[in-house]
Amino acid sequence: MSFDLKSLELFVRVAALGAIGRAGMEFNLSSTNATHRIKALETDLQVKLLNRTTRAVSLTPDGEIFLDYAKRILNDVEDARTVLSQTTATVSGVVRVTASASLGRTHIVPFVPEFSRLYPDVKLDLNLTDNLVDIVEQGYDLAFRMGELAPSSLLAQKLDDNPVLLVASPDYLARKGYPEHPDDLRNHDCLTLGERHGWHLRGPDGAEHRIRSDFTARSNLGDALVEWAVGGMGIAHAALWHAGPAIEAGHLVPILPGYSVFFDMKMWAVRPPGRLMPLRVKVFLDFMQARFIATNQKQYGAILPELSQYLGK
């Protein structure tokens, strides 16, 4: 095959724009020259990549398949160039990152301007979504995740601990009473995270307690649970990076001393397997890990020692 990188870049832009002429303009190519490049690419591959009409072009099934490979080839070339650069002054390229909406809003978004000042030639493509993204298929460099990671070939790096506990407002507990044993939770209003229908706790003797309870309200957004708990709606399963400020202010109190939520939801960075970490990705990950730790320290660091009896420490 004799196609070059510019032809691959042109094809990727044609797929994104749906027009050969518009894509060609970005490469200072006439519509005719751009069309010739795409046809040469199809000849080399011996497949039809595009369906052409007078108004637009669209990918054929073979074109859809080849688009993924073209993106990977271009990313690998960019990665090789970046890895071979030895100084931060030459760090450049796009870092594609995904994270949950709430984690991204508190731990990533506020620090992007500082990162941009330090590395002005690095561009960030940040996707905040609560859906689990296939980072290999969709071409992401990094994903920031929490909790227990499912077995996979992805490379995982722990960023920080993420302690969780059960909390309620003093007003709610004055009305409903303080639970003294996990079984008492069945008689309380429960604010649950995601699809959970109860909680899994470990007692002071190491025994496990699985408590199933109907939920009063549930959400996939931890901030919502904390806000509802502060409003007196019930007992919430909360991460300290959400609940720490409310606990410190006295708006929430932890419950069930001696009993801890069975697992804590560590914060992770995961990345595709089998590849050297490009320098642009490494500097972004190192920068963000420091900000993750600093943000957690600010949110709950001052009260962490006094919460040890609720965290199994």
* Three-state secondary-structure class, residue 83: helix
Averaged over 76-85, what is the pLDDT? 66
Cα distance between residue 157 and residue 24, in whole Å: 41
Partners of residue 50 on adjacent β-strands: 59
Query: What would the two tokens of residue 127 be?
Result: 């996707």
Q: What's the pLDDT at 134?
A: 87
Q: What's the pLDDT at 197?
A: 67
Percent share of the chain, pLDDT over 90: 41
Q: What's the pLDDT at 173?
A: 96
- pTM for the model stands at 0.68
266 close to 179: Cβ distance less than 8 angstroms: no
Q: Residue 84 above 70 pLDDT? A: no
Q: Residue 150 above 80 pLDDT? A: no
